[in-house]
Amino acid sequence: MWLDGLYMASPFLAEYAKVFERPELMDEAAHQILLIERKTRDKRTGLLYHGWDESKEQEWADSLTGLSSHFWSRAMGWYSMAVVDCLEHYPVTHPKRGTIMGIFERMCHALARVQEPATGLWYQVLDQGERKGNYLEATGSIMFVYAMAKGQRLGYLNSGLRSVMLKGYQGIIGRLVTEDEQGVHLHQICHGAGLSHDRNGSFDYYISEAVVSDHYMGVGPLLLAALEVERNLEQK
């Protein structure tokens, strides 16, 4: 299982289940969210590893745990967005809603602990701080801000995380966004990363991927995050 893959299906599945009254599909979305969190969460940091292989046979998987080696910011970003977007569709009576809210809050507090204090941003490899080659990455930072802002608006998170969210947003706008005669630009975007036979999930691998500007994987989430932050501010 790949952590980032949860966003590609689960929010659609949850909304489809709600609209077409298919409770078994709502249960399946919850199962996927809870399963990968249980398998990938590091008990010490609360962060989630990028991938888990039940067979422990993939090149990137640890032979004992089946886990990949590091916490990639965008993988956790996609997952955080998936969780909050799914929660929006769950009725208060759903038996797994409270559990999902709990893991969402726990995850956001884990992310708050690795937020870079000077900028409010998050590193490409979340727990490696200023290790040589690591950098403050746009997409993960933006996705975390979106998830926290939406989570607070909908009442899934306590107000203590609001300052984390706002500091992150200020860091994005102040340090990663520029404007010139051609328009507005977003920088420090990891072009892409994954886990496969030639992508081993090492620290050196994650920092070796190209860093680009104005990629849709950053621009799209930035629009979503900006809207959620504005709505959050209007509530106050």
What residue segments make up the domains of the chain, in order of their start? Answer: 3-235
- The Cα 199–Cα 212 span in angstroms is 19
- The mean pLDDT value for 26-46 works out to 98
The one-character DSSP state at 172 is: I
What confidence tens digit (pLDDT) does each residue in 83-117 have? 999 999 999 999 999 999 999 999 999 999 999 99
CA atoms within 13 A on the CB side of 161: 27
| Sign of the alpha-carbon torsion through 217, 109, 46, 86 | negative
What distances in angstroms separate CA 114 from CA 92, 150, 159, one per listed residue?
Answer: 31, 20, 18
Q: What is the pLDDT of residue 89?
A: 98
Burial class of 172 by CB neighbour count within 10 A (0 to 12, 13 to 18, 19+): buried
Give which of 151, 23, 4 is closest to 13, Cα–Cα: 23
4 as an active site residue: the answer is: yes
Q: Which residue has the tokens 């200020």?
A: 170
- Residue 15 CA to residue 22 CA, distance in Å, equals 10
Instruction: Note the pLDDT tens digit of each residue in 160-202.
Output: 899 999 999 999 999 999 999 999 999 999 999 999 988 999 9
Second CATH level (architecture) for the domain 3-235: Alpha/alpha barrel (1.50)
Instruction: Output the pLDDT for position 236.
Output: 65
Q: Is the dihedral of CA 153, 156, 158, 161 positive or negative?
A: negative
User: CA dist 185 to 166, 180, 191, Å?
Assistant: 20, 8, 15
Residue 186 three-state SS = strand
